[in-house]
């Protein structure tokens, strides 16, 4: 199975995890998805009044320089781990 196919399957699986991940794990899932699908973070960091947007942006920014393939593999591995 190709990495893209594994990634697509992990995306589907992420919607039916046995339990809701904690917020830090959710941020990691979001950041890995964005890095895998769009590459390095774009735009400016949200202001301090948008705490959720800022946390998401920071999590994605922390992955700057990670290749799309590497981010896909990390996403697949994380979702597989969460599925138990």
Contacts of 11 (CB under 8 A, 6+ apart): 33
- Average pLDDT, stretch 55-71? 97
Angle, helix 23-38 to helix 68-83, in steps of 10 degrees: 150
Q: Domains in the chain, ordered, with CATH?
A: 3-83 (1.20.80.10)
The predicted model scores a pTM of 0.94
CA-to-CA distance for 84 and 11, rounded, in angstroms? 16
The two three-digit tokens of residue 60, written as one number: 């994605």
Cα(33)–Cα(61) distance, rounded to whole angstroms? 12
**pLDDT tens track for 38-61:** 999 999 999 999 999 999 999 999
Inform me whether the pLDDT recorded for 14 exceeds 90.
Answer: yes
Three-state DSSP state, 59: helix
């Amino acid at each position: 199975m190709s990495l893209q196919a594994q990634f697509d399957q992990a995306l589907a699986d992420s919607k039916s995890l046995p339990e809701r991940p904690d917020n830090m794990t959710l941020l990691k899932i979001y950041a890995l998805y964005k890095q895998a699908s769009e590459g390095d973070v774009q735009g400016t960091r949200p202001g301090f009044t948008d705490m959720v947007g800022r946390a998401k942006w920071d999590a994605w920014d922390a992955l700057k320089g990670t290749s799309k393939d590497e981010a896909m593999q990390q996403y697949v591995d994380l979702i597989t781990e969460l599925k138990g």
